[in-house]
Structure 1
Amino acid sequence: MQCSADFSKAISIIENLDEPWGIKDIESRHVYLNLAAKRYTNTPQKFSVEGKLDIEFPAAWHELYLDLITHDQDTISSNKSVRVLEIHCWNGNDNPVAYISTKTPIYDDVNKCMGILWDAKPAYSTNPILKSLNKSNYQISSEGNNLVTEKELEVTWLLTQGYSRKEISRIYNIPIRTVYSRIHSVFKRLDIHNIAQLREIYVEYGIDNYIPTAILKKGIYNL
């Protein structure tokens, strides 16, 4: 969705929504957060967000400000919606939780980009496998799973999410040969040959609703 309205019209659309929605200008300064977005970002209700950069917010997640700005600008320059996995202590949680944020350019009446519109949903709600099975949330770690080890799950979970072996190597800071070795080990043990078969087995045995603990390091990841 790309909006061709000014900020006031966008605000009128999102202000009463139950999910977190916000607006930033082209310099990544906040224009507006609805009440759900303030709760999501652990922002005090009396804190004035207008004109503030992420780093100026009185909340721990502001440590991610450089990555947040990068993805804002990626959205503006790409002229299309961009999805990122955001992991931090959102919604007042004491431990990191995974949300997927979708950022969409907002345009004025002459088709000039004014900023971005963003929302945030729990990671499970945008996973087509989980959604099709009506599963309500991810379980953390692979305890109780007897098909793959935690280390193997760390690699194969990202693989099933569309990450390349090179990207997985970078995210976990492990040699790419280790990535290949863990994938090979899983494929051999499960007697499969491709990622589609891996996804099918994960669904069959309920592993698809596990998310490895290691991926819940605070940060922002491209989807």
Structure 2
Amino acid sequence: MRFSINIGMEFHAKTFDSIISHMKQSGEFWYIKDLEHRFIYMTDYAKYYSGLPKGYNPEGKLDSECPAHWSEIEDVIQANDKKVMERQQAIPTLMTFISGDKEKKINPFMAEVIPLIENGKSIGVVGRAKKMQIFSMYYVDNNVRHAKSPVDYPVNLFTDREFDVIFYVMQSLRNDDISRLLNISLEKVNERLQSIFNKTHTNTLGQVVEFCKDLGYDKYAPYEYINHRSYIPLIN
């Protein structure tokens, strides 16, 4: 049994137990679903940040059967899972979750939805996600707080529109995908990229990515794409 963790890297395991053991020890956001889109496993970290009630076990449940806000968009989630299994290719996906007991907070995660493969055949998906911060100092929407301490906020070098492009560049998206996701022309994407090159004194996208990671921009997601129903596959 094997499943891809990311491009050019694979994790091999003989049993589900060894896969789950690896996920538990990581202390990260992981989940596994079967061919019918039912949860097989979810780490405690993922249960907390995905907004599930304390002590709730999603094992054997569909998205729509889970008591969380994302149950309302099961069709979008399952359509993405199906593409991952059919193509046997990971799809980067921006997910947003609401968590917290007294004060609800919106938390964006940059995830990879990965095919779970046994003997060359897809038998489910694996999700692995990294918590992001919101690229906005502070705002409030629908009584849900979005906050960012200015202490470790990145250098105020880019406009929000430029950061929109940078975010997708750091996910290795092509310019035409960026154009589609931002609903702007390719010319506008290139215009913003040129401004980014000028500000960073770089000449290639690889150099831009390295520059932005050094300043911590890879820990952020654009605030205007974050809401309680966000589940955005970055590849069609």
The two structures have a TM-score, normalised by structure 2, of 0.67
C-alpha distance 178-54 of structure 1, shift in aligned 2 (>3 A) = same
Q: Equivalents in 2 of 1:119, 1:189: separation in Å?
A: 33
Identity percentage of aligned residues? 26
Q: Equivalents in 2 of 1:199, 1:222: separation in Å?
A: 17
What corresponds to 1:184 in structure 2? 194
Alignment of 1:130-169 (within 5 A): 138=133, 140-141=135-136, 145-169=155-179
Contact kept in structure 1, 2:109 and 2:129, CA below 8 Å: no
What corresponds to 2:150 in structure 1? none
C-alpha distance 47-36 of structure 1, shift in aligned 2 (>3 A) = same
Matching residue within 205, 215, 225 for 1:195: 205
Q: Equivalents in 2 of 1:11, 1:197: separation in Å?
A: 35
Q: Equivalents in 2 of 1:181, 1:95: separation in Å?
A: 31
Moved more, 16-25 or 172-181: 16-25
Question: RMSD of the TM alignment (CA)?
Answer: 3.5
Per-residue displacement from partner, 1:78-99 (whole Å, max 9, x unpaired)? Answer: 335x242332125545123223
The structure with the greater share of residues assigned to helix is 1
Alignment of 1:88-127 (within 5 A): 88-92=96-100, 94-107=105-118, 113-122=122-131
Matched, 1:87 2:95: yes
C-alpha distance 166-24 of structure 1, shift in aligned 2 (>3 A) = same
The two structures have a TM-score, normalised by structure 1, of 0.70
Per-residue displacement from partner, 1:124-173 (whole Å, max 9, x unpaired)? Answer: xxxxxxxxxxxxxx562487745332212212332243222221122122
Aligned residue pairs: how many?
A: 205
Matched, 1:55 2:50: no
C-alpha distance 154-27 of structure 1, shift in aligned 2 (>3 A) = same
Residue 222 of structure 2 aligns with an amino acid whose one-letter code is: P
The structure with the largest alpha-carbon Rg is 1
Unaligned stretches of 5+ in structure 2? 4-11, 138-152
Moved more, 148-157 or 113-122: 113-122
